[in-house]
């Protein structure tokens, strides 16, 4: 049986030089001898360095297609455009030629404006993450759809530390703070932005983390020692002078710069590991 050139599915040592080969690395698999050989040693063998008994290699496996990383704020922008156009159509149907004048003089409803602000916030945070994305330390995916639901994940960051983050971008105005509305023995910490109780944003992150864990699967999580994290990132809110990021019910809450510093933490994964994890997530959670 001819040796095959492919991406290995488990780490192993090169039979030629004893180099450790990571999962996802292109190498030559010899099924009869059950050994893997790195491409440097295998290419040497094809040049005649391994003698007349060297086995032929199949054609090299095609390079993987580019990772479909998504576009920040794309689905929120589409929803805003849909609502805007539907409102304009209703105005024309009801008022005829006066519909254009009505739209020019009236304000957009808050429910419509919220989608535009949300898209702008995702784009702003996404631009900052794009400056981090290098496929060596951090791989970032944007606007991922959770299958069989109407929910999406604004950003997913696969990091060198082994943490895979679900990141929700919020473009809210007001000062971010927490208030404990519980008693002495029953604390009830709640998240506020200005006078607005935003605690439901914290609870909604559980579904996003579960979607990521489900996409990776327990075997991959165990093999790469992956941890999932959730971050709620406010892009245009106010903070107290000496404020620090907070942790509420396991969800990190803070601002862009502080989150980027956390994502850049060193760790045990290499570039091949990052891309392997990112591809698995991108396949299961497609762009929204």
pLDDT of amino acid 45 = 56
Full DSSP string of 207-263: HHHHHHHHHH-HHHHHHTT-EEEEEEEESS-B--TT---EEETTEEEE-HHHHHHHH
Whole-prediction pTM: 0.77
Full DSSP string of 116-170: HHHHHHHHHHHHHHHTT--SSSEEEEEEEE-TTSS-EEEEEEEETTSEEEEEEEE
pLDDT in tens, 180-221: 988 888 888 999 999 999 999 999 999 999 999 999 999 999
Residue 180 CA from chain centroid, whole number: 31
pLDDT of amino acid 43 = 73
How does pLDDT run along the chain (288 residues), one tens digit per residue?
Answer: 457 777 777 778 888 888 888 877 888 888 777 788 888 887 765 444 443 344 444 555 455 667 899 999 999 999 999 999 999 999 999 999 899 999 999 999 999 999 999 999 999 999 999 999 998 899 999 999 999 898 999 999 999 999 999 999 999 999 999 999 888 888 889 999 999 999 999 999 999 999 999 999 999 999 899 999 999 999 989 999 899 999 999 999 999 999 999 999 999 998 888 999 999 999 999 999
pLDDT of amino acid 74 = 95
Supply angle C-alpha 170, 176, 180, rounded to 5: 120
Query: CB 136: neighbour CB atoms within 10 A?
Result: 11
Is there a contact between 156 and 215 (Cβ–Cβ < 8 Å)?
Answer: no
Query: CB 72: neighbour CB atoms within 10 A?
Result: 25
Kindly tell me the burial class for residue 52, based on how many C-beta atoms sit within 10 Å of its own C-beta (0-12, 13-18, 19 or more).
Answer: exposed
Token pair of 47, please?
A: 């040049």
Burial of 182-209, coded b for 16+ CB within 10 Å and e otherwise, reads eeeeeeeebbebeeeebbebbeebeebb
Cα dihedral 227/230/235/238 (nearest 10):
-120
**What 8-state DSSP symbol labels residue 91?**
H
In angstroms, rounded to a whole number, what is the distance separating the alpha carbons of residues 238 and 12?
Answer: 50
Contacts 24+ apart (CB under 8 A), 268-273: 268/160, 268/161, 268/162, 268/225, 269/159, 269/160, 269/161, 269/162, 269/224, 270/22, 271/135, 271/136, 272/22, 272/23, 272/24, 272/25, 273/22, 273/23, 273/24, 273/224
């Amino acid at each position: 049986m001819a040796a095959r050139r492919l991406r290995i599915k488990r780490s192993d040592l090169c039979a030629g030089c004893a180099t450790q080969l990571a999962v996802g690395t292109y190498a030559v698999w010899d099924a009869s001898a059950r050994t893997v050989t790195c491409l440097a040693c295998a290419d040497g063998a094809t040049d005649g360095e391994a003698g007349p008994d060297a086995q032929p290699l199949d054609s090299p496996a095609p390079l993987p297609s580019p990772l479909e990383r998504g576009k920040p704020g794309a689905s929120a922008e589409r929803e805003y455009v849909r609502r805007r156009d539907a409102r304009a159509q209703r105005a024309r149907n009801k008022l005829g030629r006066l519909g254009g004048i009505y739209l020019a003089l009236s304000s957009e409803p808050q429910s419509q404006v919220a989608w535009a602000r949300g898209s702008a916030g995702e784009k702003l945070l996404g631009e900052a993450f794009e400056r981090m994305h290098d496929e060596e330390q951090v791989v970032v995916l944007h606007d991922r759809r959770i299958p069989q639901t109407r929910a999406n994940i604004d950003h997913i960051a696969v990091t060198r530390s082994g943490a895979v983050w679900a990141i929700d971008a919020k473009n809210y105005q007001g000062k971010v703070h927490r208030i404990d509305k519980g008693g002495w023995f029953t604390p009830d910490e709640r998240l506020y932005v200005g006078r607005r109780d935003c605690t439901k944003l914290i609870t909604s992150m559980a579904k996003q983390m579960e979607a990521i864990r489900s996409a990776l699967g327990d075997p991959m999580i165990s093999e790469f020692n992956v941890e999932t994290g959730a971050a709620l990132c406010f892009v245009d809110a106010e903070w107290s002078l000496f404020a620090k990021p907070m942790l509420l019910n396991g969800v990190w809450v803070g601002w862009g710069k502080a989150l980027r510093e956390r994502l850049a933490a060193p760790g045990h994964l290499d570039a091949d590991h990052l891309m392997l994890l990112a591809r698995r997530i991108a396949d299961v959670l497609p762009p929204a």
